[in-house]
């Protein structure tokens, strides 16, 4: 508003709301509604999209049907599109002489954008991502061919992995059993739990024997590529040893290239923070495209 010098009355500025501008501003969901004069509506839609996206991600962990998985993965994108179309409609229905509100200012748009950026999504990420579900980007070939480099995995942090499951292991916090090698690897490791507390484990070449019985391991792969940390006959020989209480023995599926318990030793149960359930998304550097056959694929 401006003050008329002659009458002393405030003059309300008017300006047509452009639907295309509202659509463009919806690159940040909800900001287009604010531009169109519906700030509360925009904030509610933004928060709804964040919550719906997280709920869809949680549901994605448990559905077995790949079509249903793809539909759940599409929730954030479809939701953002619907919010953008709603902003277009909101701007279109405003009168030509729309009276600018106090929030129809560049500084207000930037302020709301930053507010949403540092509140709703980070809070959901902190609460849900830390305790319920998280994503993990794979950079090593230790679980090939079950898990490939450039896969993005879904980690179910509500599940307690058992023998045979693929687990997320964290080394970010030191423990009494930490060794020098834990400081040389990444803070997270994805590997398969082979044996648990009280089990007796032995490795003889390509045979893995738990409690006297040879494991049937269709997932095991012996590549020609050898990780330098795994060179030596000791990598093909282990035990027999009993797994201590509250510990696990883990192996990567790519046995010649994996950093696992043969190098790191037994894994304390407190380091096992979740179960790897699915491939969320996968990209092939060699082919230069998305690997749709791996997207939403359940891992066993």
Render pLDDT for 45-64 as a digit per residue (tens, 0 to 9): 998 998 899 899 999 998 88
Bridge partners, residue 207, by sequence? 204
Model pLDDT, residue 287: 67
| Least confident interval from 36-50, 64-78, 185-199 | 185-199
CA atoms within 13 A on the CB side of 98: 20
Tell me the pLDDT band of 5, cut-offs 50, 70 and 90.
very low
Residue 282 CB coordination number (10 Å): 21
What the block records as the tokens of 268 is 């304390």
| Alpha-carbon span 153 to 147, nearest angstrom | 9
Q: Does residue 13 surpass a pLDDT of 80?
A: yes
pLDDT (0 to 100) of residue 181: 45
Tens of pLDDT, residue by residue over 231-253, are 555 567 887 999 999 999 999 99
Task: Tell me, rounded to whole angstroms, the distance of Cα 109 from its chain centroid.
Answer: 29
Residue 12: pLDDT band with limits 50, 70, 90 = low
Q: Name every residue whose Cβ is closer than 8 Å to that of residue 274 and which is 6 or more positions away in sequence.
A: 134, 155, 156, 157, 158, 159, 161, 167, 168
Is it the case that residue 2 has pLDDT exceeding 50?
Answer: no
Query: Average pLDDT, stretch 142-167?
Result: 92
According to the model, what pLDDT value does residue 171 have? 79
Could you give the residue ranges of the DSSP H alpha helices within the chain? 19-25, 31-35, 39-62, 66-73, 75-92, 106-118, 120-124, 130-131, 261-264
Higher pLDDT, 13 or 286: 13
Domain limits, CATH 2.10.109.10, in the chain: 134-298
Does domain 134-298 fall into CATH 2.10.109.10? yes
* Mean pLDDT, the chain, integer: 84
Least confident of 5-14, 122-131, 207-216: 5-14
Range in 22-31, 81-90, 165-174 with the lowest mean pLDDT: 165-174
Task: Determine the average pLDDT of the residues in 290-300.
Answer: 86
* Predicted local confidence at residue 252, as pLDDT: 92
Model pLDDT for residues 159-180, shown as the tens digit of each residue: 889 999 999 998 765 544 444 4
Does residue 187 register a pLDDT over 90? no
Q: What percent of the chain has pLDDT over 70?
A: 86
What is the percent of the chain where pLDDT is above 90? 50
Question: Mean pLDDT, to the nearest integer, of 253-273?
Answer: 89
Structure tokens at 31: 């900001």
β-bridge partners, 192: 166, 251
pLDDT at 257: 84
Q: Choose the most confident range, by mean pLDDT, from 5-9, 46-50, 83-87, 122-126.
A: 83-87
| Per-residue pLDDT, 3 | 47
């Amino acid at each position: 508003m401006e003050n008329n010098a002659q009458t002393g009355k405030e003059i309300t500025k008017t300006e047509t709301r452009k639907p295309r501008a509202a659509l463009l501003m919806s690159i940040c969901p909800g900001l287009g509604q604010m531009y169109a004069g519906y700030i509360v509506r925009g904030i509610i839609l933004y928060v709804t999209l964040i919550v719906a996206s997280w709920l869809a991600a949680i549901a994605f962990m448990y559905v077995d049907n790949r079509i249903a998985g793809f539909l759940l993965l599409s929730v954030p994108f479809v939701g953002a599109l619907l919010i953008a179309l709603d902003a277009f409609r909101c701007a279109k229905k405003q009168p030509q002489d729309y009276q600018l509100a106090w929030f129809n200012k560049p500084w207000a748009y930037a302020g709301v954008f930053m507010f949403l950026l540092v509140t709703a999504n980070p809070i959901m990420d902190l609460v849900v991502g830390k305790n319920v579900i998280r994503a993990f980007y794979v950079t090593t070939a230790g679980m090939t061919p079950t898990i490939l480099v450039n896969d993005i995995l879904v980690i179910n942090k509500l599940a307690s992995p058992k023998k045979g499951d693929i687990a997320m292991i964290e080394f970010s916090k030191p423990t009494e059993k930490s060794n020098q090698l834990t400081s040389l690897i990444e803070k997270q490791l994805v590997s398969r739990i082979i044996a648990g507390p009280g089990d007796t484990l032995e490795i003889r070449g390509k045979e893995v024997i738990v409690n006297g019985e040879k494991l049937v391991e269709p997932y095991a792969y012996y590549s020609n590529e050898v990780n330098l940390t795994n060179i030596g006959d000791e990598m093909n020989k282990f035990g027999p040893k009993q797994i201590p209480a509250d510990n696990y023995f883990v192996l990567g599926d790519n046995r010649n290239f994996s950093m696992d318990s043969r190098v790191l030793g037994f894994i304390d149960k407190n380091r096992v923070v979740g179960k790897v359930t699915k491939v969320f998304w996968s990209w092939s550097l060699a082919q230069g495209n998305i690997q749709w056959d791996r997207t939403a694929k359940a891992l066993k």
